[in-house]
Amino acid sequence: MMRKILILLLTVLGVIGFLASPIMNVRYVNVYGNDVLSTSTILNTIPEPNHIISYSSRRAEESLINSLPHVYRARISRNLFSRELTIEIVERKVIAYVLFSEEQYLHIDIEGRVLATSTYTSPNLPIVSGLYFTSFGLDEHLEICDESLYVLAKFATYLTAYNVTGVRVDAEDINNLRLYYGNIVVNLGNQTDLDTKIRAFIAALPYVSQFRNIGGTLHIDDINGQWRFELLS
């Protein structure tokens, strides 16, 4: 009986020793779901992966979410047999660039959170001007009214969905909204039925696009979304 207990004890100690040994160190780390963030940025943000069993996935996930504004959600799983860690990232998406100064744009998501700043923009996303705020913090929400944020999110969502590029949004007065499409001014009026007005703008694009470099004014009715274009004389 004592011999069996001793063998069992030695076996348990052997297994524990094996699992705690360098043999169980992490061999590979796989990263998925990152688009804006580079894999090296993600790996440099988390504690260095060492032992596959003792590694704290929760601590690494919290580090990613708290340190990188673009990270909305992070999940880390492990495979003991292959000694692999898998990092799955869900990124926050930039929906628009908010003009802060002549040389600085804020990259914001649909919640109005500032994800990054830059001196350049991509034509694939709208530029928003006219929002009033005096300061901002990275990974913090812009201090703007809810109505302005609603307008911004609506614009960005529809324009992106319909693949409308090169648009600037003037949101200084939410009761007198304007889009700028090249040299064309689009008068949208107030924010009532904003989705209908944006669809009307998109419906007018096949016609007004030919005058984008010439200029003109596109009026969209507040009641039924009908549009009328005046060529710059």
pLDDT, residue 22, reads 53
Mean pLDDT of 70-82: 88
Cα 14 to the center of its chain, rounded Å = 49
Fold of 23-91: Ubiquitin-like (UB roll) (3.10.20)
Looking at the chain, the whole-number percentage of residues with pLDDT higher than 70 is 88
The residue ranges of every structural domain in the chain are: 23-91, 96-231
At residue 41, does pLDDT exceed 90? Answer: yes
Asked if the domains 23-91 and 96-231 are classified in one and the same CATH topology, the answer is no
Kindly list the distances between the CA atom of residue 48 and the CA atoms of 20, 26, 225, in Å, as whole numbers in the listed order. 17, 10, 56
What band does 130 get if pLDDT is binned at 50, 70 and 90?
confident
Integer Cα distance of 182 and 227 in angstroms:
18
Between 21-25, 68-72, 89-93, 202-206, the lowest mean confidence (pLDDT) is in 21-25
Mean pLDDT of 129-158: 81
At residue 36, does pLDDT exceed 80? Answer: yes
pLDDT, residue 28, reads 86
Mean pLDDT of 50-54: 76
Task: Indicate the residue type of 67.
Answer: S
Mean pLDDT of 219-224: 74
pLDDT, residue 232, reads 82
| Stated pTM of the model | 0.78
pLDDT, residue 223, reads 63
Closest-CA residue to 124 (of 100, 90, 93, 91): 93
Residue 135 buriedness (CB in 10 A; 0-12 / 13-18 / 19+): exposed
pLDDT, residue 80, reads 79
pLDDT, residue 226, reads 83
Phi and psi at 118, nearest 5°, equal -160, 170
Q: Which CATH class is domain 96-231?
A: alpha beta
> 3-state class of 61 per DSSP?
helix
